[in-house]
Amino acid sequence: MKPIPYGRQHITDEDIAAVVETLKSDFLTQGPKIDEFERKFADYVGAPYAVAVNNATSGLHIAAKALGVGPGTKVIVTPLTFAASANCIRYCGGDVTFCDIDPDTYLMDAAKLEQILDSHPAGTFSGIVIVDFAGYPHNLEQYREIADRHGLWIIEDACHAPGAWYTDSKGERQLTGNCRFADCTIFSFHPVKHIATGEGGMVTTANPELLERLRLYRTHGITKDGAKLEKNDGGWYYEMQDLGFNYRITDFQAALGISQLSRAEAGLVRRQEIARRYDEAFKGNDKIKTPYRCDDVRHAFHLYVIQVLDRKALYDALRANGIMAQVHYVPLHLMPYYRALGNAPGQLPVVENYYEHCLSLPMYPTLTDEEQEYVIKQVLQHV
Ligand SMILES: *Cc1c(COP(=O)(O)O)cnc(C)c1O
């Protein structure tokens, strides 16, 4: 049997045809496929605006910059995430304070967030970066209320959660990334994520001023928009108005993204099915803690994370049997880089305890029933 990864992309003949067609077109980059991808993705998540970028890390960087993060800006970030969620603040010269997680949802603990805010003078912090870990969406309405009381912006790193939703206090479903309550939401199109373009990412926002800055920073800080130019020497004329980057995605990646997007819902349904089968198989087993579930929420299941007593033994046994389970994540405050900035073991007991026990089992739409049965059998045998 081929090794079973924890996640992988799903590329169809339609995807390949869409890429080839774009390769034969007039534009490999800066062409019409980018606008189309942005429009369709914005519709998918219910956001007013979307800006496509070359990866989610770039998206996080320009979101932080657009929100005004600069030297000395203090931002509160979850430690249970990929490095980029905190690094984007550091790229801009800002300082990161980590806030511990909720032991059930694994999201930034709202009560601990309030403790940090209340124990510092008003105005100390400018914003928060939260991550819809594993695909479990934040109740953004609740975080917005806290943020407004303390004058904070919110970056939602939703790399795990396209297609997720929660139910607000009025009983309405709020799609992850619709930016009703977050200032910017960031998605990734890395192959292990829901929608794959090789490298790629998207930033959504409901704020037209942020939209403008995101577009500016994506392309060197350069604009050709006549209404914004200080003067106009002629048709060739453009101005670099701020220091930006080249964070553009290509048209053939956008074409792949558009094609992938048309199957995103089906992929999500399949992920739910796989999660239900794992839930069923592990139900009542007191050696395995399964993911937190709540009827008011649609979990996007980028990851299916269990907690077990002896994680290393299970990890090694699964690997020996061709199952490439993974650990998500080593908490960021324990990384040498962030330790050198003043963080230390013992600082965030909930996420540190989680890290000792967590393991991500294979979860992707093309995982077959037979493969999943095999994974379940191996987990039950070795746990
Ligand atoms: C994958 C991921 C990123 C980075 O995405 P790239 O597109 O690879 O830059 C950032 N944050 C989280 C939570 C991720 O899972």
Q: Of 220, 109, 88, whose CA–CA distance to 98 is shortest? A: 109
- Average pLDDT over the chain, rounded to whole? 97
State the closest ligand 1 atom to the C-alpha of 302, by its place in the atom list counted from 1.
Answer: 15
Taking the C-alpha atoms of residue 334 and residue 207, their distance in angstroms, rounded to an integer, is 35
The best mutation among 91, 186, 188 to test binding of ligand 1, ranked by most ligand atoms within 8 Å of the C-beta, falls on 188
Q: For 177, how many CA atoms within 13 A lie in the half-sphere containing its CB?
A: 29
CB atoms within 10 A of CB 364: 23
Give the pLDDT mean for 158-174.
97
The 10s digit of each residue's pLDDT in 219-241 is 999 999 999 999 999 999 999 99
At 13, is the pLDDT very low, low, confident or very high (cuts 50, 70, 90)? very high
Closest ligand 1 atom to the C-alpha of 131? 13
> Which ranges constitute the DSSP H helices of the chain?
13-23, 32-45, 56-66, 84-91, 110-118, 140-150, 208-218, 251-261, 264-282, 311-320, 336-339, 349-357, 369-382
pLDDT at 127: 98
Give residue 1's pLDDT: 77
pLDDT tens digits for range 75-128: 999 999 999 999 999 999 999 999 999 999 999 999 999 999 999 999 999 999
Over residues 267-317, the pLDDT tens digits come to 999 999 999 999 999 999 999 999 999 999 999 999 999 999 999 999 999
CB 330 within 8 A of CB 98: no
Report how far ligand 1's centroid is from the alpha carbon of 158 (Å): 9
- Residue 108: name the closest of 67, 155, 62, 72 by CA: 155
Of all protein residues, the one whose alpha carbon is nearest to atom 15 of ligand 1 is 159
Residue 80 Cα to ligand 1 midpoint, Å, equals 12
Band (pLDDT 50/70/90 cuts) for residue 3 is very high
pLDDT in tens, 22-73: 999 999 999 999 999 999 999 999 999 999 999 999 999 999 999 999 999 9
Which tokens sit at 65? 């910059």
**Which atom of ligand 1 lies closest to the CA of 200?**
7
Tell me which of 78, 186, 190 to substitute to probe ligand 1's pocket, judged by most ligand atoms within 8 Å of the beta carbon.
Answer: 190
What residues are in contact with ligand 1 under a 6 Å CB criterion?
55-57, 81-82, 84-85, 131, 157, 159-160, 188, 190, 201
State how far the alpha carbon of 82 is from the alpha carbons of 56, 188, 218, in Å: 11, 12, 22
What is the Å distance from ligand 1's center to 291 Cα? 21
